[in-house]
Structure 1
Amino acid sequence: MVKRLLNSLNNIWSFVILFAFLIVGLLLILPLYNIFVSSFIDNETGSFTLQNYIDIIGKGYYRKAIYNSIFVGFSSMFGALLIGIPLAFFTTRFKIRGKSVISTLAILALVSPPFIGAYAWITMLGSNGWLRHGFESIGIPMPTIYGPLGMIIVFSLKLYPFVYLLTSGALSNINSSLEDAAESLGYPPFSKFIHVTLPLILPAISTGALLAFVLSLADFGTPSIIGRDFRVLSTVAYNLFTSEMGGNPGLASTVSILLILVSLIFVYMQRIIIRNKDFGSDMLNPPEIKKLTRLTTIPVHFLCYFIVFLSSMPSLVVIYNSFRKTSGPVFQSGFGLDSYRRVINDVPDAIFNSFLFSVSAVILIVLCGTLIGYVVARKPSILTGSLDSMLMIPYIVPGVVLGLGFIVSFNSKPIVLTGTAIIIILVIFIRRLPYSVRSSVSILKQINIGIEEAAASLGAGPAKTFVKITLPLMLPGVFAGAMMAFITAINELSSSIILYVGGTVTMPVRIYLSVLDGEFGTAASLSTILLVATGIAVYTIIRLTDSDERVFL
């Protein structure tokens, strides 16, 4: 059957499909398979056992971590919904001054690393935080940023842009005739929203909620930095594997399987919510953008700008702190470039490695993602459909889990990669490959296939048609996908924290270690370099896509 399917395609694209399956099989399926197998292996005897699962389910320590992870995931999801839905409603249905500024700041909050936000909130509301001391000096007690509350705050302010961008797109495409009909039937505004508008935008909201839940569940940096004794699955898996008392790969693999399982259950729940429901509407009449009344103008504008300012505040604080003089974890009076000098003198390898690994991974991502995106969009079959589905897996697999999978898979012959730069480049490559594939598929949907058919009718072969005709038309989408892959690659922490050795330290890893060591000046200067690189990439994407916010999803 497979042979018949391949024979129906041109030879060059058959090779691309086979090569794509080889890449996905080796770098994604094999590590996950080995994690699954390792979860049934006894750490001491190497024999088959169910004891790892019995320990995870039976011991309160691990049950508490499961509960904590789900609690933080759902709380962060609801926080993102409470912030993102009102912001989307106000900016799409009313004339808001500076809407483009709001969208840009929301996007910057989305692409900035969550562990930088966690570090920034420590400098504001930690034990020595200036904001905490400021409020307490006037008699206002502030809650600690450490623990579950701090994690939920960081995740909510980091992940609400997913809800905002998706919901904004859905609200902008609703047929206003449906809402007008409800209004003519006497529905008050709130009832109209609940009974008419909300069902139409439910797929977008549920997708945003799914992303917020899965990403908060998978994150390692934030709970590790501000969670303290509040254990979650990602930090438990990391600690089990790297314990100074001797790692336990079997238990770490079992926790990793649970992480994936929880994510899959939530994905299934999201699909149940929107399954067998008709959410479609022809946009015959686009929604009217109304003018705010005098009474609502100030509070609505204040709310919108307060939200994006609050989510941007960590980045602003980090940049500000990078120019302050420090002594360990204590910021002193005065400003200077001392932190940047220390970074350049002490950890230049972290900066070099981050750019080297990211650019190397992005080159591979663009080369492979463009070709895979083409066969997925232009050569529909069971094979390409399966390939497209498999490339969704990296979205729900935590970086810690994939990092563990790479160590288990490539720590012995015939392929030994642990301790090398190659293993970090490859894990970044497979984690971020879907960005390039999706952007290529999206741009190809906008290109008339008749152009390629015309070239073929004139005698041009598949390769020549692709290089001379299709690829130049795809370039905006290809570059946008490359920039999005670069943004996530250079900020990668979850997998690299598992895989790094002394010579392969990256900026995110060094920032994480600096925060744990109380070197806040070093952390701030490295974070600022990351934020500047991220900001340049975001600006490039906005210019390439004509401010199309959907590319960031």
Structure 2
Amino acid sequence: MRYAGEKKFNFWTVLTLILLALFLLFVIYPIGMLLAKSLFAGGQVDLSYFVKFFTKKYYWGTLVNSFKVTITSTLVAVLIGLPMAYLLRNVKIPGSGLLNILIVISYLSPPFIGAYAWIQLLGRNGFITRILNAVFHMNFSGIYGFAGIVLVFSLQSFPLIYMYVSGAMKNLDNSLNEAAESLGCNAFQRVTKVIFPLIMPSLLAGMLLVFMRVFSDFGTPMIIGEGYKTFPVMLYTQFMGEVGTNDGFAATLCIIVIIIALMFFFLQKILGKRFTYSMTALKPMEAQTATGWRKFLSYAVVYLVTFIAALPQLTVIVTSFIGTINGSLFTGEFTLDNYRNIFAKGNTSAIFNTYLFGLIAIAIVLVCGILISYLSVRKRSPLTSVLDVLTMFPYIIPGSVLGISFLYAFNGPPFLLGGTVLIIVISLSIRRMPYTIRSSTAIIGQISPSIEEASISLGASQIKTFLRITIPMMLPGVLSGAIMSWITLISELSSSVILYTSKTMTLTVAIYSEVIRSNFGNAAAYSTILTLTSILSLLIFFRVSGSRDLSI
């Protein structure tokens, strides 16, 4: 949107160039370094690393394992999330508001915390394992490997399907459902022939996010997978073991991950456009009171699934107050020793760093997100279009790949940022910025340009109008999105575990390190602090947004 007398090269153009330069430096340059290390050796094109990967089953077998885990977990998440969204939207369930919060919290906590909690419940010496073996005289040795990974990922990911589908169903016009009923369709036919096709775009979007989250996570397979190695685990171990001698192969693995991620991203875009429907809910669907066996079944499914999803968080909180022997064996006695350990001198840096880095990163995300969304909507040009595309790359690239690319790009001249606070903050900001940009773009699209035009016609400059009119109108929605970005930001592990040093350790890295060292008491205490922070942030989100509905 260009006003009369506005020059082509102005403040907004300069701002676009600055933001474009930042994304070129912190997104394209690191990816370019990965590509160069994987394709070139001695100044010539060398595909030996790719040949090494595809000719040795040890390497490509982990990719097959990842696809098995990812596809299975995504399908199970859909099988759980879809009915949950339907039941909570269409059936009056007592305490549905609390259930919604519990479901969201189970999604917001890092997956590897769920893996740790399920080990406490269903591991070799887990609480449920001991009960099963004692009561049924079984010899159950714990849920590890493929089954354990799928269990954790499915329960961690179905809330995302639930939120997307629930949001889509909120916008459905119930008159279509009533028309189908009047034409003789039963409840099953109405769901499969009317509701399901209309929510398909949202379901595909949710499935893509689940797929990318599961495919790129290495913490869960590392903790509960044991001998079942997935691609991210192999990538992490190869990088950590070979960074000084054969970093070209680690870069090649990163490029393979990026290619796979891009393929599924564009596939989702194509399918989304193919199945897209536009609808205004003149008569929204309303929850009905169920009776008889439908009431019993609906209540049983919703309460049972919610309880199982929230069980890892409850386990972590309870075990944080139970004493341990040498950190690994729980005594069964309630104590505050675990908290005394983590709050001892020198052990609080991870907590302090998490809040400090998170606040700095979210401030950067807020400022850049507002500016980029404004430029993309109000100042459309070839430059802003390129900027808009570049902002999507961190959304696609897995965190571990971003962390490795940052080390390759900024661990030596001319940009020596490795081991600093700055590289952690930048990685956190880059990782979470696409979410805020997309939400801000949607918000500014709802603000009529005539309001800004009226301000300019009364003598205010464009910059003053932007600061005094546009930003205040955007702020409530942007702040709500920023709080949600904050919750996911403080739970980030994939990039932080690669970039951290002893001075820049965060809560997620501290939890992961304690679990790997079998210091379960300390891990539970750290996890409880992170969980309570997420809950408090979620309550603030509800307060700011004025809503109890977290559907997407």
The answer as to whether partners of 1:105 and 1:308 remain within 8 angstroms in 2 is yes
Look up the match of 1:97: 94
Look up the match of 1:82: 79
CA shift in 2, pair 1:316/1:49, >3 Å: same
Look up the match of 1:4: none
User: d(CA) in 2 for partners of 1:474 and 1:288?
Assistant: 30
User: Are 1:413 and 2:410 counterparts?
Assistant: no
The answer as to whether partners of 1:203 and 1:274 remain within 8 angstroms in 2 is yes
User: d(CA) in 2 for partners of 1:316 and 1:247?
Assistant: 44
Look up the match of 2:117: 120
3-state SS of paired residue (1:39) = helix
User: d(CA) in 2 for partners of 1:360 and 1:128?
Assistant: 41
CA drift of 1:548 comes to 6.2
CA shift in 2, pair 1:453/1:233, >3 Å: same
CA drift of 1:475 comes to 1.7
Look up the match of 1:333: 332
Look up the match of 1:20: 19
CA shift in 2, pair 1:533/1:46, >3 Å: farther
The answer as to whether partners of 1:428 and 1:489 remain within 8 angstroms in 2 is yes
Letter in 2 for 1:35: L
Q: Give deviations 1:200-251, integer Å, cap 9, x for gaps.
A: 1111111111111111001121111111221112111111111179553111
TM-score by length of 1: 0.94
Letter in 2 for 1:132: T
1:107 equivalent among 94, 104, 107: 104
CA shift in 2, pair 1:85/1:10, >3 Å: farther
CA drift of 1:538 comes to 1.1
CA drift of 1:133 comes to 0.7
Look up the match of 2:3: none
Q: Give deviations 1:358-380, integer Å, cap 9, x for gaps.
A: 11211221222221122122223
Letter in 2 for 1:201: I
The answer as to whether partners of 1:175 and 1:287 remain within 8 angstroms in 2 is yes
Letter in 1 for 2:115: A
The answer as to whether partners of 1:362 and 1:485 remain within 8 angstroms in 2 is yes
Q: Give deviations 1:279-309, integer Å, cap 9, x for gaps.
A: 2344343234322122221221121111111
CA drift of 1:389 comes to 2.4
Letter in 1 for 2:512: Y
Q: Give deviations 1:452-501, integer Å, cap 9, x for gaps.
A: 11111111112211222222222212322322222122111100111112
CA drift of 1:140 comes to 6.4
The answer as to whether partners of 1:120 and 1:315 remain within 8 angstroms in 2 is yes
User: d(CA) in 2 for partners of 1:420 and 1:215?
Assistant: 27
Look up the match of 1:463: 463
Look up the match of 1:36: 35
Count of matched residue positions in the alignment of Structure 1 and Structure 2: 544
The answer as to whether partners of 2:243 and 2:250 remain within 8 angstroms in 1 is no
CA drift of 1:272 comes to 3.4
User: Are 1:515 and 2:515 counterparts?
Assistant: yes
Q: Map 1:64-79 to 2 at 5 A.
A: 64-79=61-76
CA shift in 2, pair 1:481/1:12, >3 Å: farther
- Percentage of pairs with the same residue: 39
Look up the match of 1:11: 10
3-state SS of paired residue (2:324) = strand
User: Are 1:286 and 2:302 counterparts?
Assistant: no
Q: Map 1:153-302 to 2 at 5 A.
A: 153-243=151-241, 247-277=245-275, 279-302=277-300
The answer as to whether partners of 1:38 and 1:249 remain within 8 angstroms in 2 is yes
User: Are 1:432 and 2:419 counterparts?
Assistant: no
User: d(CA) in 2 for partners of 1:193 and 1:146?
Assistant: 36
The answer as to whether partners of 1:10 and 1:462 remain within 8 angstroms in 2 is no
3-state SS of paired residue (1:503) = coil
The answer as to whether partners of 2:108 and 2:487 remain within 8 angstroms in 1 is yes
Look up the match of 2:489: 489
The answer as to whether partners of 1:236 and 1:255 remain within 8 angstroms in 2 is no
Q: Give deviations 1:389-432, integer Å, cap 9, x for gaps.
A: 22122122111100010011112211111111111111111111
3-state SS of paired residue (1:502) = coil
User: d(CA) in 1 for partners of 2:355 and 2:36?
Assistant: 34
CA shift in 2, pair 1:273/1:467, >3 Å: closer
Structure 2 unmatched runs, 5+? 1-5
Letter in 2 for 1:542: F
Letter in 2 for 1:292: A
Look up the match of 1:303: 301
Look up the match of 2:360: 360
CA shift in 2, pair 1:229/1:245, >3 Å: farther
Select between 122-131 and 316-325 the one with higher mean Cα deviation.
122-131
Letter in 2 for 1:55: K
User: d(CA) in 1 for partners of 2:164 and 2:365?
Assistant: 25
Letter in 1 for 2:10: N
User: d(CA) in 2 for partners of 1:371 and 1:277?
Assistant: 32
Look up the match of 1:524: 524
Q: Map 1:315-326 to 2 at 5 A.
A: 315-326=313-324
Letter in 2 for 1:256: C
3-state SS of paired residue (1:325) = strand
CA drift of 1:537 comes to 1.2
Look up the match of 1:54: 51
Letter in 1 for 2:181: E
Structure 1 unmatched runs, 5+? 1-6
CA shift in 2, pair 1:247/1:123, >3 Å: farther
CA drift of 1:53 comes to 0.4
CA shift in 2, pair 1:280/1:363, >3 Å: closer
Question: What is the root-mean-square deviation of aligned Cα atoms in Å?
Answer: 2.0
User: d(CA) in 2 for partners of 1:397 and 1:463?
Assistant: 34
The answer as to whether partners of 2:89 and 2:286 remain within 8 angstroms in 1 is no
User: d(CA) in 1 for partners of 2:190 and 2:455?
Assistant: 52
Look up the match of 1:130: 127
CA drift of 1:447 comes to 2.5
Letter in 1 for 2:172: I
Letter in 2 for 1:74: I
User: d(CA) in 1 for partners of 2:245 and 2:516?
Assistant: 21
